[in-house]
Structure 1
Amino acid sequence: MNEIREVAKAYYHGRGEQEKELARQFFKSLDADNNNVVCLQEYKKYVKSSLSSDDEVFKLLDKNGDKTLDFNEVLALYYMDKVSIPRCKVCDKLLLASYFSCLRCLGKPSYNVCCDCYGGGRYEHHHASSEFRDTRALLTMLDRIMDPKACEEDPNNCEKNDADQENGAKRSTSRSKSERILETLEALNAGFLLGGTVVTAVGAVAVAPACIIM
């Protein structure tokens, strides 16, 4: 939860006044009696999301243990509601830190498990464990897909897809960032593999460098 708090605080202080006002209005919507704190009863009454409406989340948010939430503690809740923090498919724990996702199931819906359940093999899934990557590895993969030059310049971490090259496929250099994002998401849904296995997404990316994460 500490990482969530730091991220929420950084967003708040790094954004413009209009977005800060939205966060303040969110806090006021929970603080029914206007005493500048949110008690458990107010929290349960005003928070509607299934993610945040139970006592477990309230206790996690209550950093100082005074059984109320001040503005900074509610900031973390505001962030959690915005990004929709998932739960582990096995133990149902909120995934507040790094976790593992099945690449082939992203958005279908996603299949996410906590580090303990993944590392301990305490899950049953129709895709192999080699299809899973942690959140940081996923971000690294997205970064490399968005910037193909990173793979070209680092032969120790990336390999060209010879099969696509033989078929005469060429990487487009004129695509906009938004187009690359859409292609990346399509590629993920089509089933990217990392860890040295070279697989390109059918119909999504002309040439997809297989960036080795693990």
Structure 2
Amino acid sequence: MEEIRRVAEAYYKHLPEKDKKVLKNKFNAMDKNGDKQISRREYMEYFKKGKAKGFNQKRIFRALDKDKNRSLNFEEAKVLFYIMESGRAIICMSCKKFMAGAYFSCSQCFFSDGAKKSTFDICCDCYGGKKFTHHGDAIFCDNYTLLCQSRSSALAAPAETRSSALRAIEMIVGITNIAGSLGCIIM
């Protein structure tokens, strides 16, 4: 989780002031009693209203609560906002643990032609300990390897389809929103 905290802080530092203000407003919307802390109750109520699917897990809240005081201050909430925008809220399909770092995905599900709406992602402990069930011919790769394979495949594509393939990869890894906010060029 520390790595995600560092990434979130780096992204935040490069956000335009108007986007920082949007995040502060989101924080204030969650902080119903105005005490500059988001309690677990405030957090759960916010996400029960459908603000972002999958975030209403207590495990995510506990992972975000760096100082373990059972509430989120703005610094801790910045990590939440980064996770929401980047698509990094990935839960192990086996043990249901929030995965903050490396994880494994079924490559067939990852590269499917759209027949499936999600991938089959599992934490390192479940993969290493064979604590999961999935289709018998599944080939698993870690998330970094899948990203590298995706980019390599796109670059190997014919020139006329290469840019659309790279755009699809940007969407798959959830970078489009953050890159657009920061004015980054992905390549």
Instruction: Give TM-score scaled by structure 1 length.
Output: 0.66
Give the C-alpha shift of residue 4 in structure 1.
2.0
Match of 1:78 among 81, 85, 99: 81
Written as runs of structure 1 = structure 2, the 5 A alignment for 1:179-198 is: 179-181=164-166
Structure number with higher helix proportion: 2
Number of residue pairs aligned between Structure 1 and Structure 2: 161
Of the two structures, which has the highest relative contact order with CA contacts closer than 8 Å and spacing of 6 or more? 2
Matched, 1:25 2:25: yes
Identity %: 30
1:45/1:172 CA distance change after superposition, 3 Å: closer
Match of 1:137 among 124, 135, 145: 145
Give the C-alpha shift of residue 56 in structure 1.
2.6
Per-residue Cα deviation, 1:38-64 (whole angstroms, up to 9, x for no partner)? 122222222334533233322221111
- Stretches of structure 1 that go unaligned for 5 or more consecutive residues are 149-170, 186-214
Equivalent residue number for residue 41 of structure 2 = 41
SS at structure 1 position matched to 2:95: coil
Give the C-alpha shift of residue 174 in structure 1.
4.6
Give the C-alpha shift of residue 13 in structure 1.
1.4
Provide the C-alpha distance between the structure 2 equivalents of 1:128 and 1:59, rounded to a whole number of angstroms: 35
Equivalent residue number for residue 193 of structure 1 = none
Deviates most, 120-129 or 20-29: 120-129
1:125/1:54 CA distance change after superposition, 3 Å: closer
1:147/1:4 CA distance change after superposition, 3 Å: same
Q: Check whether the contact 1:88–1:95 (CA below 8 A) recurs between aligned residues.
A: yes
Q: Check whether the contact 1:98–1:134 (CA below 8 A) recurs between aligned residues.
A: yes
Matched, 1:90 2:94: yes
Match of 2:124 among 87, 100, 115: 115
Provide the C-alpha distance between the structure 2 equivalents of 1:44 and 1:184, rounded to a whole number of angstroms: 32
Provide the C-alpha distance between the structure 1 equivalents of 2:103 and 2:15, rounded to a whole number of angstroms: 27
Provide the C-alpha distance between the structure 1 equivalents of 2:31 and 2:167, rounded to a whole number of angstroms: 40
SS at structure 1 position matched to 2:133: coil
SS at structure 2 position matched to 1:47: helix
Give the C-alpha shift of residue 145 in structure 1.
2.5
SS at structure 2 position matched to 1:57: helix
Equivalent residue number for residue 176 of structure 2 = none
Instruction: Kindly name which structure, 1 or 2, has the bigger radius of gyration based on alpha carbons.
Output: 1
Match of 1:102 among 106, 112, 123: 106
SS at structure 2 position matched to 1:147: helix
Deviates most, 91-100 or 79-88: 79-88
Give the C-alpha shift of residue 128 in structure 1.
2.7
Written as runs of structure 1 = structure 2, the 5 A alignment for 1:149-160 is: none
Give the C-alpha shift of residue 74 in structure 1.
0.6
Provide the C-alpha distance between the structure 1 equivalents of 2:44 and 2:34, rounded to a whole number of angstroms: 16
1:56/1:125 CA distance change after superposition, 3 Å: closer
1:147/1:72 CA distance change after superposition, 3 Å: same
Instruction: Give TM-score scaled by structure 2 length.
Output: 0.74
Provide the C-alpha distance between the structure 2 equivalents of 1:88 and 1:28, rounded to a whole number of angstroms: 30
Provide the C-alpha distance between the structure 2 equivalents of 1:71 and 1:110, rounded to a whole number of angstroms: 31
Aligned-residue RMSD, C-alpha: 2.4
Q: Check whether the contact 1:31–1:42 (CA below 8 A) recurs between aligned residues.
A: yes
Matched, 1:51 2:54: yes
